[in-house]
Chains A and B, each alone.
Chain A
Amino acid sequence: MPLLEVDRVSKRFGGLRAVSGASFSIGEKEIVFLVGPNGAGKTTLFNLITGFIHPDEGRIRFAGTDVTLITPNRAARLGIGRTFQIVKPLGSLTVLENVMLGAFLHTASRARAAHDAREVLAYLRMEAVAAATARDLPLAMLKRLEIARALATRPKLILLDEVVSGLSTAEAMALAALLQKLPERGVAAVGGVEHVMRVVVSIANRVVVLDHGAQIAEGEPHDVVRMPAVVEAYLGAKFRERHL
């Protein structure tokens, strides 16, 4: 039984089909990337899986439970962690406190939460900024903070929405090396990125390509980039961008 099963899910915003008939599944400890140009529907899918919005059609199952109409806080309790593409730090709290809020999902003790938060911060190489106020962090660290806070909830699955976008190649590769260890921690991951980039090729088991809300390809990173539909989607997108 797959960990996450997205089954013919669709979501409309007014007349716009943000996601139409997306179907894919994620196994335990797998790393899969959703790839698609800006507006392809990646963030919408993450919002659907975590219950921030609900689908018009289709079902979503997680670890054997139907989560189609779940609330966001219950999704987190079931073991679905998430980051936000537009980072959402708890700005006036410290980095440690931000991560403690994730850890509070499984303990009411402040000491225990701080201990667990420090372990996650160490994993993400963030110990040095533990005492900093979250809103003062540079973007690369804010992206890591999103991941740290979600990991502290001890999810079975973490959704990583554009966690490498806006980072330099060096920063992105450093983060990828850390994310590669997620399966060792027993965590599966679904990433969202705009292009099949080095990071994706280096850590993804599989790639699902979306365009205009529809799923156009699925496979190993190397194979997917050669598929005609994918090439067409990206060239088309580039063409439109250039001629807008």
Chain B
Amino acid sequence: MTRSHALAAAAFAGALLVPFVVRSDYTLQVLFRLFLFSALGLAWNLVGGYAGQLSLGHSAYFGAGAYGLALSTRLGLPAWPSVGVGILVAMLFALVIGGVSFRLRGPYFALATIACAEILRLSAKNLTGLTGGDVGAAVPALFSGQVVRSFYWSAVLLASLAAAATLAVTRSRFGYYLMAIREDEDTALSVGIDTAKTKLAALLISAALTAVAGSLYASLFLYIVPDQVFGLDISNEVAIVAMLGGVGTIAGPIVGALILETASELFKNVFLEAHLLIYGGLLVFVVLFLPDGIVGTIVRRRTLARRRAKPPRAPDHAAA
């Protein structure tokens, strides 16, 4: 077991013990959001970070999880299996959205993901018979008794699952395939990678994790409307969490969630609905000054320092 393994295990154990120390439901709810958005950032990171496909429409899968839970229970399914339905619906959306938007590269891809999520939001608003439209839909409680605590633990578990999945991916050929696609899609094709299938696989994993987060979020509030769970805000926040911390790293989205949730807690009474301004400001700052994100910048500095300490031998051009 390496030092980082030990550190991760200790952090996980520590996070599980928090509710025994923190008694305030309010604080636990803030921490729930922290872990929920860590999980969301990690899930997004597989597609947006490792594969370099800037999805700005992840609310499609979040909303699928939320409405999947709400609507399946209405059809008589028990609560937890309904979460499974949400996952399946999100994966179905991912197949369609990926099929449409992965044909496009760069900003066109990002725009296509926004458009797909917006179509879902507007559909949810207008299919009032199915979703209740803007009036909203009731969501069943996934827990009874010490509710907030249970939600907190679920979010910790989900974030850990997302981190473990990311770790497994980075250590596999699949993870290398994703990075190759990010670095140069033509090169990826030239070494035999089926880039379309690989991107879709990453999106399916990402969508499944995102849907569980959507279900948890919806069930904590017990009531959802389309603008909230299918909205641009969710899509943006998920992407910002990952980019702020550093795309293509495991710690990045967790650090990003920590900063973003702390900031929005601190400023929410000052700025009220001005959170969009904060998101925008943070994003501009990151893009301009920390293009690798916080964790990414630290990692890069360290690698550079290590390489300077031990420079590679000059290549032997004349050798033949």
Complex Cα–Cα for A70 and B191 (A): 14
Given contacts A100-B176, A113-B173, contact A128 B315 (CB under 8 A): yes
Contacts of A149 in B (CB 8 A): 187, 190-191
B265 at the interface (CB under 8 A from A): no
Contacts of A174 in B (CB 8 A): 317-320
CB distance from A113 to the nearest CB of B (A): 7
Contacts of A113 in B (CB 8 A): 173
Kindly report which residue of chain A lies nearest to residue B300, judged by CB atoms: A92
* 0/1 interface trace, chain B 161-187, chain A, CB 8 Å (1 if under): 000000000011100110110011011
Given contacts A125-B316, A131-B312, A170-B317, contact A88 B184 (CB under 8 A): yes
Kindly report which residue of chain B lies nearest to residue A126, judged by CB atoms: B315
Complex Cα–Cα for A131 and B191 (A): 20
**Contact across chains for B318 and A153 when beta carbons are under 8 A apart:** no
**Contact across chains for A153 and B191 when beta carbons are under 8 A apart:** yes
CB distance from A196 to the nearest CB of B (A): 21
* 0/1 interface trace, chain A 90-103, chain B, CB 8 Å (1 if under): 11110001001110
Give the size range of A's interface with the partner: 35 or more
How many of chain B's residues have a CB under 8 angstroms from any CB in A? Answer: 29
Complex Cα–Cα for A227 and B187 (A): 37
Contacts of A102 in B (CB 8 A): 191
**Contact across chains for A128 and B313 when beta carbons are under 8 A apart:** yes
* 0/1 interface trace, chain A 135-160, chain B, CB 8 Å (1 if under): 00010110000000110110000000
A132 at the interface (CB under 8 A from B): yes
- Which residues does B use to contact A, with CB under 8 Å? 171-173, 176-177, 179-180, 183-184, 186-195, 307, 312-320
A-B contact pairs, 29 of them (CB 8 A): A52-B186, A72-B190, A73-B189, A73-B192, A76-B189, A84-B186, A84-B187, A88-B184, A88-B186, A89-B183, A89-B184, A90-B187, A101-B180, A101-B191, A104-B173, A105-B191, A109-B173, A125-B315, A125-B316, A128-B312, A128-B314, A128-B316, A140-B317, A149-B190, A149-B191, A150-B190, A170-B317, A174-B318, A174-B320
Given contact pairs A125-B316, A129-B312, a sample of 5 additional A-B residue pairs in the complex whose CB atoms are under 8 Å apart: A50-B190, A90-B183, A104-B176, A129-B315, A153-B192
